[in-house]
Amino acid sequence: MFDHPHRRFNPLIEEWVLVSPQRSKRPWKGALETPQIINLPKYDKNCYLCPGNKRINGDKNPTYESTYVFNNDHQAIESETPDYQENGNPFFKTQSVKGKCKVVCFSPRHDQTLGSMTAKNIQKVITVWQKELQELGKQYPWVQIFENKGDIMGCSNTHPHSQIWASSTIPTEIQKESKSQKEYLKNNKSQLLLDYVHQELNLKTRVVAKNSDWAVVVPYWAVWPFETMILPTKKLHRLEDVNDSQIKSLAKIIKTLLTKYDHMFNASFPYSMGWHFAPYTKENPDHWQLHAHYYPPLLRSKTIKKHLVGYEMLAEAQRDITPESAAEKLREL
């Protein structure tokens, strides 16, 4: 039945996705994306993120030799945002959001993506993420770690980096995931994503890579062509709960996944990724399971991008290849 159109349900956010495998056979006459630049220098004197350079606000970066963190010079969320007065009108609701934004440069090298780093150096990035979460989680209920890789994903600086946005409100996607996981725990006395990953490991058809602590799968309900999730195989509520041994195995599986991505179309593979985990509230986090989402846009080559338009925007998400075929392609690389 997977060769014909069908819908799949995403229990994590309670939404459906239409799978239309026949669409992948269409001749392509649409626009082609310009591939991102891959021959970057080790150091760029004009880059705001390279060691020793001045940033746009005039501050000078130290000559850092490893992962480097600083406050974003253009804060999307500010700590001094004024409070808004609610007017009671259901059509014009406004809520004040306070927070802080940081930038995490993976390494001093301008040309070194996370996937091209050694697993040992990826471990350093993970421990920096953990440290930032521990600090920001004391002040804000939500902290989002994410990376936009590649110019077609809106990345404004080619020096490989991730971002951290802490906010005084819980974002919409996190609210959806929390609600679904809470209901599942109540009804099944177990965790939704932990049960899910073990089912995927048993079936094997959508598993891209695995080790003793982690699995990479193309979700059954995936929207993007080569979308994946990194899931722990044991109970973990937050990234800070990951111990030293699990950090090593996580770094290795991140390296494996990103290497596969880059080999898919022999190009530096663009994507948006982010970690989801239990918010920093007084609520019991037992229903939450740590996981990472990877959303790459490339569909058939390094120049053809999947766009969410038309039916996707007006009805529901739709994908052109089955998750099983996407997982098989990634697995074989």
pTM of the predicted structure, to 2 decimals:
0.94
Cβ-based neighbours of 26, under 8 Å, separated by 6 or more: none
Element (H, E) at 299: strand 298-301
The tokens for 119 are 């697993």
Rounded distance between C-alpha atoms, residue 113 and residue 189, angstroms = 41
Which of 110, 159, 161, 293 is catalytic? The answer is: 161
| Alpha-carbon 259 to chain mean position | 16
The DSSP output letter for 220 is T
Element (H, E) at 184: helix 172-188
pLDDT at 28 (0 to 100) = 47
pLDDT at 25 (0 to 100) = 64
Domain ranges of the chain: 38-80+95-332
pLDDT at 49 (0 to 100) = 97
pLDDT tens column, 196-252: 999 999 999 999 999 999 999 999 999 999 999 999 999 999 999 999 999 999 999
pLDDT tens column, 310-321: 999 999 999 989
CATH for 38-80+95-332 is: 3.30.428.10
Ordered per-residue pLDDT tens for the chain, 333 residues: 577 899 999 999 999 999 988 766 665 455 666 655 567 899 999 999 999 999 989 999 999 999 999 999 989 999 998 988 788 899 998 889 999 999 999 999 999 999 999 999 999 999 999 999 999 999 999 999 999 998 878 787 899 999 999 999 999 999 999 999 999 999 999 999 999 999 999 999 999 999 999 999 999 999 999 999 999 999 999 999 999 999 999 999 999 999 999 999 998 999 999 999 999 999 999 999 999 999 999 988 888 888 888 999 999 999 989 999 999 999 999
Catalytic: 159? no
Rounded distance between C-alpha atoms, residue 252 and residue 238, angstroms = 19
Give the residue among 315, 7, 10, 309 at the shortest CA–CA distance from 176.
10
